[in-house]
Amino acid sequence: MERVIIFDTTLRDGEQAAGAMLNPQEKLEIARQLDVLGVDVIEAGFPISSAGDLEGVRLIAREVRRPVICALAHAQRDAIDQAWLSVKEAGRPRIHVFIPASDIQLEHQLKKTREEVLERAREMVARARGYCDDVEFSPMDASRAEPTFLYEVLQAVIGAGATTVNIPDTVGYAMPQEFGELIVGILQNVPNIGKAVISVHCHNDLGLAVANSLEAVRRGARQVECTINGIGERAGNASLEEIVMAIKTRKDLFNLTTGIDTPQIYRTSRLVSELTGFAVQPNKAIVGANAFRHQSGIHQDGVLKKAITYEIMDPTEVGIPASSLVLGKLSGRHAFKERLAELGYTLKEEAFNRAYQAFKELAEKKKEIMDRDIESVVAQELRTVSEVYHLEHVQVTSGDHSVPTATVKLLCPDGQVVAHSATGTGPVDAVYKAIDQITKVPCRLTEFSVKSVTEGIDAVGEVVVRVESEGVTYTGRGASTDVIVASARAYMNALNRLLRARQS
pLDDT: is 110 or 19 the higher one?
110
| Cα gap 17→293, rounded to integer Å | 29
Q: What is the mean pLDDT of the chain?
A: 91
For the chain, how long is the longest CA-to-CA vector? 79
For residue 300, the model assigns a pLDDT of 62
- Name the CA radius of gyration of the chain, rounded: 24
Write down the pLDDT at residue 460: 86
Q: What is the pTM of this model?
A: 0.83
Q: Among the listed ranges 17-26, 276-285, 445-454, which one has the minimum average pLDDT value?
A: 17-26
Q: What is the mean pLDDT of the segment spanning 27-37? A: 96
CA nearest to 142, candidates 175, 112, 108, 99:
99
Q: Which residue has the higher pLDDT, 68 or 335?
A: 68
Taking only the tens place, the pLDDT of each residue in 149-160 is: 999 999 999 999
DSSP of 53-71? HHHHHHHHHHH--SSEEEE
- Residue 308 buriedness (CB in 10 A; 0-12 / 13-18 / 19+): exposed
Task: Produce one character per residue of 199-214: b if its CB has 16 or more CB atoms within 10 Å, e if not.
Answer: bbbbbbbeebbbbbbb
Strands 405-411 and 390-397: antiparallel
Alpha carbon of residue 338 to chain centroid: 27
Torsions phi, psi for 203 (to 5 deg): -100, 165
For the ranges 66-70, 125-129, 194-198, 317-321, the lowest mean pLDDT is seen at 317-321
Least confident of 106-115, 324-333, 334-343, 491-500: 324-333
198 Cβ neighbours under 8 A, 6+ residues apart: 164, 165, 167, 183, 186, 187, 216, 220, 221, 222, 223
DSSP state letters, 342-409: HTT----HHHHHHHHHHHHHHHHH-SSB-HHHHHHHHHHHHHTTT-SSEEEEEEEE--TTS--EEEEE
What tens digit of pLDDT does each residue of 391-444 get? 999 999 999 889 999 999 999 999 999 999 999 999 999 999 999 999 999 999
Kindly tell me if the per-residue pLDDT of 48 is higher than 80. Answer: yes
**pLDDT value, residue 324:** 45
pLDDT exceeding 70 applies to what percent of the chain? Answer: 95
pLDDT of 383 reads: 60
Q: How confident is the model at residue 75 (pLDDT cuts 50, 70, 90)?
A: very high
